[in-house]
Amino acid sequence: MPGEPVIVVPDDFPTVFNGTSAHERCQKLGDTRVYIERGADDEAELIRRIGNARYAINIRAHARFTEGVMAGCRKLEMISIWGTGTDNIDLDAAGRHGITVCNTPGVNAFAVAEHTLALMLAAARRIPRIDREMRGGAWPRELLTQLLGKTLGVFGTGTIGRRVIALAKAIGMDVLAWSARGDAGAVATLGARAAAKDEICRAADVISLHLRLGPDTRGFLGRREIALMKPTAILINTGRGALIEREALLDALGQSKIAGAGLDVFHDEPLKPGDALVTFPSVVLSPHNAGQTPEVIRDGLLRAIVNVENYVKGTPTDVVVAPVKTRR
């Protein structure tokens, strides 16, 4: 249909893409439409927004590219994701419908790793709580946790996990690491020791999650694993909320079975007012913004456009799904 866009950004809410250099570069590829209003979390609305576009640039994880969306967008050839996570994309459906899926792995790795370290330190030193108490006129004198000489357990040794290991080593922590590939040699080159899941849960003073969310990692830390943790342990999650069983975490925090947590990701986002997590003074919270720096936004958005450019040239990059068949 004349006037319909070739490229759609259906979910730029809150907006980070509209009017940027990446947007300008995208427009050179073809007619581009950017939606900056809420609503892409509704399947019918997402289908309407994509329409007959050939390429969709996915900004936010609340836009879920389901079987229904892909079936309803018959001309869609490619989804270019800004970010690493693909849990909002039905990858099997993409393959069946001949849709290529690309992402931008590693762009936000250093920013997320820094945020992970910040959450570790903030939880261990109880900085948010002490700050609140001092603003109320108190002068807290409780003992704090020193990370030097403590053991960090890292689940996931991708780009973010590797950087977290490096930062932890730099402040004097010992590191145990679990790799999905089970490659002890690769873990050793990072200055960490490969360990089994249960060993890490038992031994670590701080545990940090850097896994992709999938059927095999959903609820990766559940009631059994959390029960193995030290009562002085701190749990950090900058991966995905569903990596941890929510009720098991709430029970552990409520009964002081662990010392605290630093969380940037949640089962439901945004976190609702009055959520049980906000009631625990031992929990440090941030609104899924670990990777939100000007540098990450600039570089990640441009790379998402480069992935579209390369697909158009016939040399796709950062491919997550490369379908056997091509849509017609």
Clarify whether residues 265 and 139 are in a common domain.
yes
Clarify whether residues 135 and 251 are in a common domain.
yes
What is the DSSP secondary-structure string of 39-84?
A: -TTSHHHHHHHHTT-SEEEE--TTS-B-HHHHHH-TT--EEEESSS
pLDDT, position 2: 47
Domain of 147, CATH number, reads 3.40.50.720
120 part of a folded domain: yes
The number of folded domains in the chain is 2
Clarify whether residues 191 and 274 are in a common domain.
yes
Clarify whether residues 152 and 266 are in a common domain.
yes
Clarify whether residues 304 and 274 are in a common domain.
no
327 part of a folded domain: no
pTM of the model: 0.87
**Which regions of the chain are under pLDDT 70?**
1-4, 324-328
Clarify whether residues 102 and 115 are in a common domain.
no
Tell me the residue type at 248: A
Determine which one of 218, 246, 288, 327 is catalytic: 288
SS3 319: strand
Determine which one of 43, 114, 133, 269 is catalytic: 269
Clarify whether residues 88 and 159 are in a common domain.
no
Residue 240 is a catalytic residue: yes
328 part of a folded domain: no
Clarify whether residues 262 and 304 are in a common domain.
no
pLDDT in tens, 232-271: 999 999 999 999 999 999 999 999 999 999 999 999 988 9
Strand order of the sheet with strand 100-102?
32-34, 7-9, 55-58, 78-81, 100-102, 319-321
2 part of a folded domain: no
Clarify whether residues 154 and 199 are in a common domain.
yes
pLDDT, position 326: 58
Clarify whether residues 103 and 116 are in a common domain.
no
Clarify whether residues 99 and 115 are in a common domain.
no
Q: Which residues contact 106 (CB under 8 A, 6 or more apart)?
A: 84, 159
Residue 269 is a catalytic residue: yes
**Domain carrying residue 136:** 109-285
pLDDT, position 323: 79
SS3 137: coil
pLDDT in tens, 12-35: 999 999 999 999 999 999 999 999
Determine which one of 162, 240, 245, 303 is catalytic: 240
Clarify whether residues 143 and 268 are in a common domain.
yes
